[in-house]
């Protein structure tokens, strides 16, 4: 076996390739070519050709890949109670790297069925009922889904007592996958097995359906959604290996044109005395995606969430100027800033997207007055002691001042949010998070060394004071 390995990230705009030497634990070379949507193997071959030029023969190297092309992995999550199994199903799908189009709770209606047909998901995650608990709901929902005109792969992760029966509800044309319950009992979240099943379906079915299999002659193994690879890299970086210590609790932020992704790695137990945790415990590796916070396609909803007046204040523009720029960005998402003011405007948008996105991701404290005095209730994860925040994705990496945007992660947007209080900031300037998440599957030690080195070299420090 050779020591070289090639990691591929087929993004919606660019196909990025990184070649590493796993024994030396170093990056050999990197290349980039535009993604070719009709046949992704063309873009991939272009990127690989450039790699050959820069680092000689890599013929023997194994090639692993992830992809977010062709709309990424689009899913619908279904559970029984909104705050319980439906939430657990959504968390599982997000953790598997999916874009969750919609989450449904209780019994699916005729209207829901019509909407699901409209949404046309790649995979449906069907949960509901704890083990030995409610079975009626998931059986009802299975019947509704079984009548969909187009067969969709179904991952079943609900009440195990009826899992087989649920699977039998579907006609032959549907592929069904039975996984462990996302919530086996109240208060216990178990998302790993469902995530694994989703990844398996993605490899077996979705890559084919999206034409990504055309690239398969160039790729040896592992095909996962890019966000799943990023989460895997974060997990490795946080936990470390048996040999090398990890970085502990971290936060990864990716602001894009359409969405803002936030990944946290950490248990998130209360860090202050006298706090009681409420609600469903959240996973150690948690991912959230804010579909209304983005700097281009979603700029209208972002502006609505922030308030144009706040943007005006931050930029020194009038509200009218802000609104006309927002309209321009919305009309043509390819718009690039033409002068320093417009560039600063993009940064301010990114800053606010991160501020709000992190605010929604982290837990929150609320006060409860009891006869014996005040009690603090914590919902979600306490990430106030997270010491490292990492920025990734094109908008941050290509920005002249990524730190300014990333600092939004530490800025409270609502009172009592449990966001990082005093973190250090790092940039994934080498575009390697997803690649190292892939490498982590086979060579965790090498992946961790490369990650820690690359990020440490790119710590963002304010120099202007």
Partner 1 sequence: MEAKTLVLGVIGSDVHAVGNKILEISLKEAGFSVVNLGVLVSQKEFVEAALETNADAIMVSSLYGHGEIDVRGLREALIEAGIGDTLMYIGGYLVVGSQEWTEVEAKFKNLGFDRVYPPSTLPEDFIPTLKEDLGM
| Nearest distance from C-beta of residue 236 to partner 1, angstroms | 33
Binding partner of residue 316 among ligand B12, partner 1, none, CB cut-off 5 to 8 Å per kind: none
- CA–CA separation, 97 and 122 (whole Å): 13
The CA–CA distances, whole Å, from 113 to 149, 169, 288, 381 equal: 10, 16, 25, 34
Show the tokens assigned to 270.
């209360």
- 181 or 238: CB nearest partner 1: 181
- 57 or 273: CB nearest ligand B12: 273
For 66, the 3-state DSSP assignment is strand
- 248 or 270: CB nearest ligand B12: 270
- Is residue 447 within 8 A of residue 392, CB to CB? The reply is no
Within residues 246-265, the interface with ligand B12 by CB under 6 A covers none
- On the CB side of 211, CA atoms within 13 Å amount to 11
- 359 or 363: CB nearest partner 1: 363
Give the total of residues touching ligand B12 (CB under 6 A): 3
Binding partner of residue 183 among ligand B12, partner 1, none, CB cut-off 5 to 8 Å per kind: partner 1
Binding partner of residue 300 among ligand B12, partner 1, none, CB cut-off 5 to 8 Å per kind: none
- CA–CA separation, 423 and 433 (whole Å): 19
Residue 81 is classified by DSSP as: S
| Nearest distance from C-beta of residue 370 to ligand B12, angstroms | 3
Residue 295 is classified by DSSP as: S
| Nearest distance from C-beta of residue 187 to partner 1, angstroms | 8
Binding partner of residue 185 among partner 1, ligand B12, none, CB cut-off 5 to 8 Å per kind: partner 1
Question: Which residues lie near partner 1 (CB under 8 A)?
Answer: 80-81, 83-85, 128-130, 132-135, 183, 185-187, 276, 278, 368-372, 375, 377
One DSSP character per residue, 145-188 reads HHT-SS---EEE-S-GGGHHHHHHHS-TTS-EEE---S-SBTTB
Show the tokens assigned to 334.
């390819």
| Nearest distance from C-beta of residue 381 to ligand B12, angstroms | 25
274 binds ligand B12 (CB under 6 A): no
- CA–CA separation, 176 and 377 (whole Å): 40
- 338 or 370: CB nearest ligand B12: 370
Binding partner of residue 81 among partner 1, ligand B12, none, CB cut-off 5 to 8 Å per kind: partner 1
The CA–CA distances, whole Å, from 457 to 26, 228, 399 equal: 14, 24, 17
| Nearest distance from C-beta of residue 416 to ligand B12, angstroms | 21
| Nearest distance from C-beta of residue 329 to partner 1, angstroms | 41
Binding partner of residue 298 among partner 1, ligand B12, none, CB cut-off 5 to 8 Å per kind: none
Binding partner of residue 444 among ligand B12, partner 1, none, CB cut-off 5 to 8 Å per kind: none
Residue 283 is classified by DSSP as: P
- 331 or 369: CB nearest ligand B12: 369
| Nearest distance from C-beta of residue 365 to ligand B12, angstroms | 18
- 149 or 373: CB nearest ligand B12: 373
- 14 or 106: CB nearest partner 1: 106
Binding partner of residue 41 among partner 1, ligand B12, none, CB cut-off 5 to 8 Å per kind: none
Binding partner of residue 416 among partner 1, ligand B12, none, CB cut-off 5 to 8 Å per kind: none
CB atoms within 10 A of CB 409: 26
| Nearest distance from C-beta of residue 375 to ligand B12, angstroms | 7
- 138 or 450: CB nearest partner 1: 138
| Nearest distance from C-beta of residue 276 to ligand B12, angstroms | 11
- CA–CA separation, 439 and 22 (whole Å): 9
Binding partner of residue 34 among ligand B12, partner 1, none, CB cut-off 5 to 8 Å per kind: none
Within residues 365-404, the interface with ligand B12 by CB under 6 A covers 370-372
One DSSP character per residue, 411-422 reads S-SSTTB---SS
Residue 281 is classified by DSSP as: P
| Nearest distance from C-beta of residue 77 to partner 1, angstroms | 15
- On the CB side of 157, CA atoms within 13 Å amount to 33
- CA–CA separation, 153 and 177 (whole Å): 8
Residue closest to ligand B12, measured at CB: 370
- Is residue 277 within 8 A of residue 270, CB to CB? The reply is yes
| Nearest distance from C-beta of residue 374 to ligand B12, angstroms | 10
CB atoms within 10 A of CB 257: 18
- 104 or 351: CB nearest partner 1: 104
- 372 or 422: CB nearest ligand B12: 372
The CB-based long-range contact list for 215-219 (8 Å cut-off, 24+ gap) reads: 215/10, 215/40, 215/41, 215/44, 215/65, 217/41, 218/41, 218/44, 218/45, 218/48, 218/63, 219/8, 219/44, 219/63, 219/64, 219/65
Within residues 313-372, the interface with ligand B12 by CB under 6 A covers 370-372
Show the tokens assigned to 113.
């069925």
Binding residues for ligand B12, rule: CB under 6 A, are: 370-372
């Amino acid at each position: 076996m050779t020591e070289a390995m090639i990691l591929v990230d087929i993004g919606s705009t660019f196909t990025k390739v990184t070649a590493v030497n796993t024994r030396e634990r170093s990056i050999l070379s990197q290349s980039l070519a535009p993604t070719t949507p009709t046949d992704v193997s063309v873009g991939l071959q272009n990127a690989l050709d450039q790699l050959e030029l820069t680092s000689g023969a890599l013929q023997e190297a194994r090639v692993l890949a992830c992809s977010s092309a062709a709309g990424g992995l689009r899913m619908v999550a279904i559970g029984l109670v909104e705050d319980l199994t439906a939430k657990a199903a959504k968390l599982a799908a997000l953790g598997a790297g999916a874009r969750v189009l919609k989450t449904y709770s209780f019994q699916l209606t005729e209207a829901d069925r019509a909407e699901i047909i409209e949404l046309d998901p790649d995979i449906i995650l069907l949960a509901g009922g704890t083990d030995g608990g409610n079975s009626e709901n998931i059986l009802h929902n299975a019947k509704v889904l079984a009548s969909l005109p187009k067969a969709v792969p179904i991952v079943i992760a609900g009440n195990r007592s009826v899992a087989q029966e649920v699977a039998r509800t579907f006609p032959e044309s549907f592929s069904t996958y039975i996984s462990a319950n996302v919530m086996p009992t109240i208060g216990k979240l178990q998302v790993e097995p469902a995530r694994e099943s989703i990844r398996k379906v993605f490899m077996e079915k979705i890559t084919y359906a999206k034409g990504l299999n055309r690239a398969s002659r160039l790729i040896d193994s592992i095909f996962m959604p890019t966000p799943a690879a990023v989460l895997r890299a974060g997990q490795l970086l946080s936990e470390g290996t048996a040999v090398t210590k990890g970085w502990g609790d971290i936060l990864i932020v990716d602001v894009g044109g359409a969405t803002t992704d936030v990944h946290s790695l950490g248990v998130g137990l209360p860090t202050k005395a006298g706090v009681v945790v409420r609600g469903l415990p959240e996973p150690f590796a948690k991912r959230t995606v804010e579909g209304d916070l983005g700097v281009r396609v979603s700029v209208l909803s972002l502006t609505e969430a922030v308030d144009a007046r706040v943007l005006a204040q931050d930029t020194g523009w009038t509200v009218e100027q802000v609104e006309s720029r927002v309209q321009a960005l919305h009309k043509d998402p390819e718009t690039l800033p033409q002068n320093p003011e417009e560039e600063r405007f993009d940064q301010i948008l990114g800053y606010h997207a991160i501020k709000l996105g992190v605010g929604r991701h982290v837990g929150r404290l609320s006060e409860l007055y009891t006869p014996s005095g005040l009690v603090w209730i914590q919902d979600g994860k306490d990430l106030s002691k997270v010491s490292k925040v990492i920025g990734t994705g094109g908008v941050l990496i290509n920005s002249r001042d990524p730190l300014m945007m990333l600092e939004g992660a530490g800025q409270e947007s609502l009172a009592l949010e449990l966001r990082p209080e005093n973190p250090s900031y790092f940039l994934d300037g080498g575009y390697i998070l997803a690649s190292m998440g892939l490498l982590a599957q086979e060579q965790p030690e090498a992946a961790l060394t490369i990650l820690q080195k690359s990020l440490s070299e790119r710590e963002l420090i304010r120099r202007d004071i």
